[in-house]
Amino acid sequence: GWGTDGAEATDDDPAPSWEVDGSGSEPEPAPQEPVIPDAATSADDLTISLDKTVGTDANSCAETDEIEVASGIDVYYCYTVTNDSATAHATEHDLDDDQLGVVLADYFYDLGPGQSTFATAGATIFEETTNVATGYATNGVDDAQATDSALVTIVAATVPGAPTAVAATPAE
């Protein structure tokens, strides 16, 4: 039916009026303004990527996803999520880590196309650990997820100035 502003017409509504152009036929209706899709209803599917890094500086994201540390050292994971969509926004986020548990749950943040944001979590590591993070995003229409991992390897601690093993030679 005909209507305005998306309202549904009823049988009592008058038929649309046409301007006669002298051709004896009804002209095509005037073109409508193009409908620009709202970010959440874009035809572009929501896609995200996740980059998980690990380092020992609590104040910055590391640039690597593998490190070696002595047992008992604090490490800091950085989870950077990027909206890889051309037009779709990501508005609600969850982030789970298989070793650390829930990092973010129902976190509302409007992450526009091409934008990135990050979250961090720390842990004290006593044994070699590979942990896998999964990021989830939605905009109410589309859902997306991405996974990445980081590896922490334990190495023997060295004490500066401590003696090293020396092979003994028997005295004659």
pLDDT tens-digit series, residues 68-80: 999 999 999 999 9
Residue 143 has pLDDT above 80, yes or no: yes
The candidate with the shortest Cα–Cα distance to 132, out of 94, 99, 95, 83, is: 99
Q: How far apart are the first and last CA of the chain?
A: 112
Residue 21 has pLDDT above 80, yes or no: no
Residue 148 has pLDDT above 70, yes or no: yes
pLDDT at 106: 96
Helix, strand, or coil (residue 111): strand
Give the chain's mean pLDDT: 79
pLDDT at 25: 47
Strands 73-83 and 90-97: unpaired
Residues ≥6 apart with Cβ < 8 Å to 42 = 85, 87, 88, 141
pLDDT tens-digit series, residues 31-43: 444 333 444 444 5
pLDDT at 162: 57
